[in-house]
């Protein structure tokens, strides 16, 4: 039987994978609906969204390098989901192009590191085999659910992606609460995110001699 802590970890890992992969499909799959809403062309909206995701993602990585060096990996990785939720909220409640773009920039800025961190952490237990493979189930489930919902309910218009974004917010809040209970020290955080390699030893993100994070 799984312990309560073990079930928490499985649930959080599955949910983070669901959020990471599902968000991408929800945004991409909703492009035709946003094109109609903004009275623009599919090519223009697609180009703007893709460019925004790439640029915001790059800027997000640069910002994360700075924040991890200053406040530590634990503080960043425990609160990044809250920033994601703010971006999702703006996209779910979009009333104009500016509101949608601000939300997209926020989400895109957070997602690269959120994706990288969670996927790599989940690969560690998965390599052991057994029930640990459940950790990766969310990465498949998220896109499947979003694709089915958008494909089968697209006739209802923009309410479909709005609901998808809203359910990511609810799930994200649950992940945030549960992740705090797990008490991760994030000692295995990717050190390449640090702004300067020479600062690794003095960084709050660096693990101490006993393997725990200095935070």
Please give the pLDDT value at position 185.
56
Model confidence over 125-182: pLDDT tens digits? 666 666 667 778 888 899 999 999 999 999 999 999 999 999 999 999 998 888 777 6
d(C-alpha 175, C-alpha 117), whole Å: 14
Q: Where are the domains of the chain?
A: 4-198
Please give the pLDDT value at position 51.
95
**Does residue 161 contact residue 24 with C-beta atoms inside 8 Å?**
no
CATH homologous superfamily for the domain 4-198: MFS general substrate transporter like domains (1.20.1250.20)
Give the other-Cβ count within 10 Å of 185's Cβ. 16
Residues 6+ apart with CB under 8 A from 5: 182
**Does residue 56 contact residue 108 with C-beta atoms inside 8 Å?**
yes
Model confidence over 47-69: pLDDT tens digits? 999 999 999 999 988 888 888 78
DSSP letter, residue 2: -
Tokens standing for residue 76? 């960043």
Residues 6+ apart with CB under 8 A from 32: 42, 154
């Amino acid at each position: 039987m799984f312990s309560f802590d073990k079930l928490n970890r499985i649930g959080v890992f599955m949910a983070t994978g669901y959020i990471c992969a599902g968000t991408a499909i929800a945004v991409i799959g909703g492009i035709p609906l946003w094109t109609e809403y903004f009275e623009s062309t599919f090519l223009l909206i697609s180009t703007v969204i893709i460019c925004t995701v790439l640029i915001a993602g790059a800027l997000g990585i640069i910002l994360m390098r700075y924040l991890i060096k200053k406040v530590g990996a634990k503080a960043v990785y425990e609160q990044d989901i809250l920033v994601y939720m703010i971006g999702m909220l703006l996209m779910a409640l979009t009333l104009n192009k500016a509101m949608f773009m601000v939300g997209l920039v926020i989400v895109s800025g957070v997602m690269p590191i959120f994706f990288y961190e969670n996927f790599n952490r989940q690969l560690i237990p998965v390599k052991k085999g057994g029930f640990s493979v459940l950790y990766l189930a969310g990465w498949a489930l998220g896109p499947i659910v979003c694709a089915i919902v958008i494909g089968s309910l697209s006739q209802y218009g923009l309410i479909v992606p709005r609901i998808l974004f809203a359910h990511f917010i609810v799930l994200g809040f649950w992940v945030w609460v549960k992740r705090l209970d797990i008490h991760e020290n994030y000692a295995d955080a990717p050190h390449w995110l640090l702004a300067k390699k020479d600062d690794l030893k003095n960084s709050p993100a660096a693990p101490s001699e006993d393997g725990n994070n200095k935070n």
